[in-house]
A and B are shown apart, each in its own frame.
Chain A
Amino acid sequence: MPGRLGGRACVPAGTGMRRRNIAAAVGLIVCGLVYGYLAWGLPVRSLPNTPGPSFFPLVVTAILIALAAALLVQALATNDSAGTPTPDDAGTSAVDRRFGIFALAVLLGYIALLPILGFVLATAPFFAVLMVIYGERRPLLVVAGAVIMTVILYGLFRHAFGIFLPRGLLAGIVA
């Protein structure tokens, strides 16, 4: 099937994918070893000749490490002497990555503040920031959109669907 790769050709040369694959393989081997070590230390609670709680994790460890090693060998065997990122990787993607990391940081901040401030107080500024990130620059629309959507979502999930959302500082004020 076109596009289905599995051998050496699956590592597109000159795109930096080789380096990514090597990094991923090494990372996964390390993770596999740590996981296997932890699995080895699991309590043994089983009858003789029957698999205990550590059996399956140890099988997965073996599979994980074997596959990661295969990926490493495959990547090392790939003839990609440059291994340097193309403009696509280094140029546009760098900007994309910065945007992405910022958005994830905003999301992390929102999650951290959610139980403290409550849904309404945390969501409105989060929504506003995301609106700006996604390209809306008109202040009135940003504020109105953020407030209205927060109220709608809260009302919908809390009252129509009966889902308890964190009330935080507004506990006792909002229903």
Chain B
Amino acid sequence: MSPDVLAGLVQATGFLTLTATAIGALIGLIVGMIPGLTISTGIIVLLPATFTLPPDISIALLLGVYVGGMTGGSFSAVLLNIPGTPSAAATGIDGYPMAQRGEAGRALGISITASFLGGLFSFLCLYFIAPTLADFALLFRSQDMFALVFFGLTVICSFAARSLIKGLLSGAIGLAIVTVGQDPVMGTARFTFGNSDILGGVHFLTAMIGLFAVPQLIDNLTDQTGRHVRRQTQLTSVLTRLSDLKAIQRSVGVGSVIGAFLGVLPGAGGPIAAFISYDYARKSSKTPEAFGHGSPEGIAAPEAANNAVTGAALIPMMTLGIPGDPVTAILIGALIIHGLAPGPLLFVQRGDFAYGMIFSFLWANILNFVIALAALRLLVKALATPRALLMPTIAVLCVIGSYSLRNNIFDVYVMLVFGVIGLAMRWLDMPVVPLLLALVLGEQLEKQLRVALTSSTGDIAIFFTSPISLTFLSLSALSIAWSLYSARRFAISRRKESST
């Protein structure tokens, strides 16, 4: 065992770190199960509380929320048929019918167990793949890094939106915003209009709070979902039976592999993984007719998948600095606030921390499993939390979060502006995720582009002569082409449907 691995294990297993992980998992379970609250929002509002904590404890806490949130989303999906998170939408298809049969405890037990197993699988992927990928990424030069970041952005723009143009536009708006402030190479002030508050640029966490939390607060003003639904907390035993374990082993395997694979890809995320796994599990099941009527396999496959996404999404985040989804983007922000830059150098310069993070992820899964099973009856009572108390609290936490980044009220105004931008984008059916990721990756994109062009004295051939760069640029083109092809196919099928 290398010294970094050992140091990481010790770091993650410290009492305070474990306590933070457990608290994070508990908060995550609650945040995940409450309809109207996403994991991203939960982490965002919790973030200010971590500013004064040591980085290992902060990240352990946030990882706990990430993992717990994924599991918690299934609780409301099973009990109320209202997914607490988008990733849990597929779980309700079979979880809710099983709960209606009076087997809510069994459904939740299967869900928790499958989540745990999916999470463990993704831990193994993270543990074995991340360091190797980081070693490989050390070979990257500026043109390769540019191509990689460009690839990450185009994939997300292509797949995050129903319209490719809107996805790309969202990313372009983000890139325009990221140019406000000092330029990353020469420090020239751009678009600041002499205002020193903007010189440091728009902090993407401020933008993130606005883009995600404010629209959610507005949505909850009129959204009646779950408002009148109270609870179905008469739970029988939640421990998964041996017969159920045998029944779900194939779907857990399928879900874990699909979830881990899609988790590595930027932009795919939990919801897609969950639905693809559900579909695949149904097709490969011996009893496909049971799906939709409370099949244990139908619960296990999506739950294993969405939890397998979590660890896998950490792989590109930790090794390449490319976030795969909003949550990992927030985690990048958290790391940067603590003076740590995710990317290949993380494993070289702070290998102990990188492995500590990986082991904290493992602990998050274990503790999440234990807490979810032990405190399930108590946890589901959170479903009855009055919205009139919850939403104002979140609003205040958003303000505190924006303010406390730099102790500057200007950032709170920026948060509000981004809230309005988020609402406008929703009105236009334009996704916010590409904008957000452009804010996270934009500076890196510009920096690598300019460094590469400077080293080649302005010759763009540098991007096509490097095999790594060429590969990523080709993949970018492929993702856009695929998106266009899918759109075309969908348009044709719609026309056929409407004509028949």
Interface residues of A, Cβ cutoff 8 Å to B: 1-11, 17, 20-21, 24, 28, 32, 35, 38-39, 42-43, 45-47, 49-57, 60-61, 63-64, 67-68, 70-71, 74, 92, 95-96, 99-100, 103-104, 107-108, 110-111, 114-115, 123, 126-127, 130-131, 133-136, 145-146, 149-150, 153, 156-157, 160-166
Would you give the 0/1 interface string for B216-236, flagging 1 where the beta carbon is closer than 8 Å to chain A?
Answer: 011011100001000000000
The 8 Å CB contact of B392, one of A54, A99, A134, is: A134
Cα-based distance from A28 to B393 in the complex (angstroms): 35
Q: Is B500 an interface residue (CB 8 A)?
A: no
Bound: A8/B454 CA distance, A:
40
Partner of A38, one of B191, B396, B458, B483: B191
A47's nearest neighbour on chain B, judged by CB, is B454
B163-211 interface with A by 8 A CB criterion: 163-166, 168-169, 172-173, 175-176, 179, 183, 185-186, 188, 190-191
Give complex CA distance A16, B53 in Å: 49
Residues of B within 8 A of A57 (CB): 176, 179, 190-191
**A interface footprint on B151-162 (CB within 8 Å = 1, 0 otherwise):** 000000001001
B484 at the interface (CB under 8 A from A): yes
Residues on the B chain within 8 Å of A92, using CB = 222
The answer to whether B487 touches A9 (Cβ under 8 A) is yes
* A63 partner residues in chain B, CB cutoff 8 A: 168, 172, 175
Q: Determine whether the beta carbon of B221 is less than 8 Å from that of A67.
A: no
A114 vs B162: C-alpha distance when bound (angstroms): 39
The reply to whether A99 and B222 contact each other, CB–CB distance below 8 Å, is yes
Contact B51 A161 (CB under 8 A): yes
Asked whether, in the complex, the Cβ of B188 is within 8 Å of the Cβ of A42, the reply is yes
Residue in A10, A50, A115, A161 whose CB lies within 8 Å of B49: A161
Given contacts A38-B191, A111-B413, A163-B404, contact A50 B457 (CB under 8 A): yes
Task: Report the nearest B residue to A135, measured CB to CB.
Answer: B388
Q: Does B48 sit at the interface, judged by CB under 8 A? A: yes
Task: Indicate if the CB atoms of B173 and A153 lie closer than 8 Å.
Answer: no
Q: Which residues of A have CB within 8 Å of B159? A: 4
Cβ-defined contact, A111 with B396, below 8 A: no
- Restricting to B439-458, which residues have a CB under 8 Å from any CB of A? 446, 449-450, 453-454, 457-458
Contacts of A7 in B (CB 8 A): 484, 487-488, 491
Binding site for A on B (CB under 8 A): 48-49, 51-53, 159, 162-166, 168-169, 172-173, 175-176, 179, 183, 185-186, 188, 190-191, 214, 217-218, 220-222, 227, 386-389, 391-393, 395-397, 399-400, 403-404, 407, 409, 412-413, 416, 419-420, 423, 427-430, 446, 449-450, 453-454, 457-458, 483-484, 486-488, 490-491, 494-495
Least CB separation from B409: chain A residue: A115
Q: Are A127 and B392 in contact (CB under 8 A)?
A: yes
Does A104 lie within 8 Å of B186, measured CB to CB?
A: no
Contact across chains for A149 and B393 when beta carbons are under 8 A apart: yes
Residues of chain A lying within 8 A (CB to CB) of residue B222: 92, 95-96, 99
Bound state CA distance, A164 and B406, in angstroms? 10
Q: How far is the CA of A70 from the CA of B428 in the complex (A)?
A: 15
- The smallest C-beta distance from A73 to any residue of chain B, in angstroms, reads 10
Cα(A63)–Cα(B173), bound, Å: 10
- Sampled A-B contacts (28; CB under 8 Å): A3-B490, A4-B159, A4-B483, A6-B484, A8-B491, A9-B495, A17-B429, A50-B450, A50-B457, A50-B458, A53-B188, A57-B191, A60-B172, A60-B175, A60-B176, A60-B179, A61-B176, A100-B218, A107-B395, A107-B416, A107-B419, A115-B409, A127-B393, A134-B220, A136-B386, A136-B389, A163-B400, A165-B400
Which residue of A6, A24, A61 contacts B428 across the interface (Cβ within 8 Å)? A24
Docked-complex contact A71 and B389, CB < 8 angstroms: no
Contact B188 A43 (CB under 8 A): yes
Residue pair B490, A2 in contact (C-beta under 8 Å)? yes
Known A-B contacts A38-B191, A53-B190; the reply to A135 vs B387 at CB < 8 A is: yes
Q: Taking the nearest CB of chain B, how far is it from the CB of A5, in angstroms?
A: 5
A133 CA to B218 CA, complexed, in Å? 10
Find out whether the CB atom of A114 lies under 8 angstroms from the CB atom of B51: no
With contact pairs A4-B162, A17-B429, A163-B52 given, residues A136 and B388 touching in the complex (Cβ less than 8 Å):
yes
Query: What residues on B are CB-neighbors of A126 within 8 Å?
Result: 392, 395-396
- Tell me how far the C-beta of A138 lies from the nearest C-beta in chain B, rounded to whole angstroms: 10
Tell me, in angstroms, the Cα distance from A56 to B217 when the chains sit together: 35
A146–B191 CA distance with the chains assembled, in angstroms = 40
Contacts of A54 in B (CB 8 A): 190
A93 to chain B, nearest CB (A): 9
Task: Provide the residues of chain B in CB contact with A28, threshold 8 Å.
Answer: 169, 173
Q: Are A64 and B173 in contact (CB under 8 A)?
A: yes
Given known contacts A114-B412, A162-B52, is B487 in contact with A103 (CB within 8 Å)? no
With a cutoff of 8 Å between Cβ atoms, the chain B residues found around residue A9 in the complex are: 487, 490-491, 494-495
For B413, list chain A residues within 8 Å (CB): 111
CA distance A24 to B427 in the complex (A): 10
Evaluate contact between A5 and B490: CB separation under 8 angstroms. Answer: yes
Measured in the bound complex, the distance between the Cα atoms of B193 and A42 in whole Å is 11
Extra pairs beyond A9-B490, A67-B169, A161-B48 (13, CB < 8 Å) = A6-B163, A8-B491, A51-B454, A53-B188, A57-B179, A60-B176, A61-B176, A68-B169, A126-B395, A127-B396, A136-B388, A145-B388, A146-B392
Smallest CB–CB gap between B77 and chain A, Å? 20
